[in-house]
């Protein structure tokens, strides 16, 4: 479900500009000149803080139901976002839901990203491995994430683990392509040749010189992919294939709320808005990062 | 052209093999006995044993894989655990509605996205451009089910304008057409963003090309320059993007079908997985994968037809 152009991501490879360019202002200050980026960054930071400190911020227990206040509309006494069908406070549920949704996305991104990065570096560094590795990535890329999710859910049953695995598998070939293309650019730089000439070992060369110089491309990719992974994961949970009730996960919460759409639409709509805001913030931040890292791409 | 198509076809073979292998392994790891399922709940052990031999379940795995491919080639995907109906029969009934939904979504989303993207590029930097780009970023960030639920709640329930459950019949009937509108808006809606964005970038690229300056220098009307000279060349990356997004469309279709109770393959798949109907789930997954491979193949060939430079690559 790659909603953004992979071509644009691939082009974010570093090292494309001439070396003698005057020192540009730092990444952060360039980023801060863009109001949309500032807003996105602020929202991302807020979301992360809210997710991390959920247990401290939450006014109640996320699984404690109180049927006397079931389906209370937002704004009711002590319930700024209302309550769900079990009378659980939606502020609390949202905070914990944020936590699980972000963890799900983070875990799959780290897992799929590191395997993909390894494959990408291997393909760029060892030219003989390039053909087989990248063809394997092409085959992986031929399976849309949703199908991987369906297949894993069919094999292992519904749950968060198969969803994380599916999202990771779907991320591997994308990460491999980005890493390979940016590593190929870096490999042509003189300092890599120089490092090679000093007799440095392959692994040291990769981790000390190649990987750090590919970081910016990886960072842009990870930011943009984060949003997509959240969309996919919450969709799988919404279908009932991911997080299972009563677990507070935004997609699963929206799915529960769907049953009460006509009496208490807020139960479904609030988690949906939550997902939308997170994904929007990560997408805007990713776009801004890409522009800041490579101004030539700004159209 | 033909060589290119053949090349793509060859590349699809390992993918196809992978899909079939995954489908096969799926049935190996799940905790049901295909022979018991086929025999039905009232069968005696003798009958089950006979069916087991008949299906080749007593053979080594690689022979079973061969037999599985053989049966698959003959349209035999087993029977549903839940209602004892042949999987192929149920699948056959759901493919049409899924295609219908996808076509109904793309038929408005693609032109709409292209028009928005072209306007944004042509009036670059204007308020229209900013508004279109804002819609497009929002479009790629909104969960499909959010859009669907909002439409059901507002248009279907509050305003009572359109039906929102199930298929109303063939598309050429009024009921059928009415029923497809909300699902098609939902599924197409998430598609507009990427298309508009890609079209904008691509048109901007082309507008600064030499042949456009030539066309303008010849004194051609602006409309002709934009529509015939710029847009046509700009469409190649857009077609690629649409091809790349087929997986995305498929995912959206599964969710949209589920929300709107649309009787398609996606909904069948989700239902089968949730009710542990393994043969049905396997059939759906194979079906969806085959469809995906096929569409990708078509897009690849179409892409070559649009841009002759790719054919030799």
Q: Which residue has the higher pLDDT, A257 or B11?
A: A257
Minimal C-alpha gap between A144 and chain B (Å): 5
What does the block give as tokens for B4?
């290119």
- Of A1, A272, A299, Cβ closest to residue B247: A1
pLDDT, tens digit (0-9, with 9 covering 90-100), for A153-175: 988 889 999 999 999 999 999 99
- Show which of residues 131-150 on chain A sit within 8 Å of chain B, judged by CB atoms: 135, 138-139, 142-147, 150
Alpha carbon A293 to its chain centroid, in Å, reads: 19
Structure confidence at residue A3 (pLDDT): 43
Q: Are B80 and B87 in contact (CB under 8 A)?
A: yes
Least CB-CB distance to B273: which of A153, A238, A258? A153
Q: Cα–Cα distance between B174 and A69 in angstroms, integer?
A: 44
Which of chain A's residues have a Cβ under 8 Å away from the Cβ of B273?
150, 153-154, 158, 241
- Write down the pTM of the prediction: 0.87
Mean pLDDT, all residues of chain A: 85
User: What is the 3-state composition of chain B as percent helix, strand, coil, each rounded to the nearest 5?
Assistant: 80, 0, 20
pLDDT of residue B87: 92
Query: Quick check: A150 and B282 CB within 8 A?
Result: no
**ipTM score of the complex?**
0.87
| CA A213 – CA A50 distance, rounded (Å) | 32
**How far apart, in whole angstroms, are the C-alpha atoms of residue B64 and residue A171?**
32
Hey, which residues 27-66 in chain A have their CB within 8 Å of chain B?
A: none
Shortest Cα distance from B285 to chain A (angstroms)? 7
- Return the ∠ at Cα B144 (arms to A49 and A260), rounded to 5°: 85
**Looking at beta carbons, which residues of chain A come within 8 Å of B142?**
276, 279
B303 confidence band (pLDDT: 50, 70, 90): confident
Residue of B29, B137, B143 lying closest to A235 (CB–CB): B143
**What's the CA gap between B141 and A285, in Å, rounded?**
12
Distance from CA of B172 to the nearest CA of A (A): 30
- Residue A83 backbone dihedrals phi, psi, to 5 degrees: -130, 160
Q: Is A130 exposed, middle or buried (0-12, 13-18, 19+ CB in 10 A)?
A: middle
- Across the A/B interface, how many CB contacts are shorter than 8 Å? 155
Q: How confident is the model at residue A205 (pLDDT cuts 50, 70, 90)?
A: confident
Nearest CA of chain B to the CA of A232: how many Å? 8
Residues of A with Cβ-Cβ distance to B186 under 8 angstroms: none
Report d(CA B69, CA B199) in Å as an integer: 42
């Amino acid at each position: 479900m790659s909603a953004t152009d992979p071509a644009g991501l691939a082009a974010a490879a570093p090292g494309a500009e001439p070396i003698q360019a005057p020192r540009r202002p730092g990444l952060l200050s360039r980023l801060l000149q863009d109001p949309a980026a500032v807003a996105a960054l602020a929202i991302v930071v807020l979301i992360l803080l809210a997710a991390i400190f959920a247990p401290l911020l939450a006014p109640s227990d996320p699984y404690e139901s109180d049927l006397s206040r079931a389906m209370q509309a937002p704004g009711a006494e002590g319930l700024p976002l209302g309550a769900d069908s079990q009378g659980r406070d939606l502020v609390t549920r949202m905070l914990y839901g944020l936590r699980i949704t972000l963890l799900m996305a983070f875990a799959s991104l780290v897992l799929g990203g590191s395997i993909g990065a390894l494959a990408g570096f291997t393909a760029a560094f060892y030219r003989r491995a390039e053909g087989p590795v990248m063809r394997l990535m092409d085959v992986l890329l031929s399976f849309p994430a949703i199908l991987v999710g369906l297949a894993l859910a069919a094999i292992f049953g519904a749950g968060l683990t198969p969803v994380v695995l599916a999202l990771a598998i779907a991320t591997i070939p994308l990460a491999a392509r980005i890493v390979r293309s940016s590593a190929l650019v870096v490999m042509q730089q003189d300092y890599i040749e120089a490092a090679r000439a000093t007799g440095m070992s392959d692994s040291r060369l990769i981790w000390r010189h190649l990987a750090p110089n590919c970081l910016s491309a990886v960072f842009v990719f990870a930011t943009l992919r984060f949003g997509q992974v959240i969309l996919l994961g919450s969709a799988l949970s919404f279908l009932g294939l991911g997080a299972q009730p009563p677990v507070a996960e935004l997609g699963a919460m929206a799915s529960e709320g769907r049953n009460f759409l006509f009496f208490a639409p807020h139960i479904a709509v609030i988690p949906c808005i939550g997902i939308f805001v997170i994904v929007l913030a990560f997408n805007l931040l990713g776009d801004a990062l890409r522009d800041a890292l490579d101004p030539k791409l700004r159209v | 052209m033909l060589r290119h198509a053949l090349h793509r076809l060859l590349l699809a073979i390992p993918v196809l093999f992978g899909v079939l292998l995954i489908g096969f392994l799926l049935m190996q790891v799940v905790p049901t006995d295909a022979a018991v399922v086929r025999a039905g709940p009232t069968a005696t052990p003798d009958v089950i044993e006979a069916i087991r031999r008949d299906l080749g379940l007593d053979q080594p795995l690689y022979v079973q894989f061969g037999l599985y491919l053989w049966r698959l080639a003959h349209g035999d995907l087993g029977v549903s655990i839940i209602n004892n109906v042949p999987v192929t029969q149920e699948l056959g009934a759901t493919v049409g509605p899924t295609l219908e939904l996808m076509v109904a979504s793309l038929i408005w989303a693609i032109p709409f996205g292209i028009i928005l993207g072209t306007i944004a590029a042509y009036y670059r930097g204007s308020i229209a451009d900013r508004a279109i780009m804002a819609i497009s970023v929002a479009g790629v960030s909104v969960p499909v089910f959010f859009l669907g639920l909002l439409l059901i709640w507002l248009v279907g329930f509050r305003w009572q304008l359109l039906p929102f459950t199930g298929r109303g019949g063939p598309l050429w009937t009024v009921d059928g057409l009415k029923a497809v509108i909300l699902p098609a808006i939902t599924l197409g809606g998430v598609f507009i963003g990427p298309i508009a964005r890609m079209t904008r970038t691509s048109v901007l690229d082309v507008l600064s090309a030499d042949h456009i300056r030539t066309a303008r220098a010849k004194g051609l009307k602006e409309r002709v320059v934009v529509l015939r000279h710029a847009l046509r060349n700009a469409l190649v990356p857009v077609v690629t993007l649409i091809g790349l997004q087929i997986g995305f469309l498929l995912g959206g279709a599964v969710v949209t079908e589920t929300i709107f109770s649309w009787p398609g393959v996606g909904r069948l798949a989700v239902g089968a997985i949730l009710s542990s109907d393994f043969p049905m789930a396997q059939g759906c997954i194979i079906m969806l994968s085959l469809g995906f491979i096929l569409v990708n193949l078509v897009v690849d060939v179409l892409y070559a037809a649009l841009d002759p430079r790719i054919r030799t690559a």
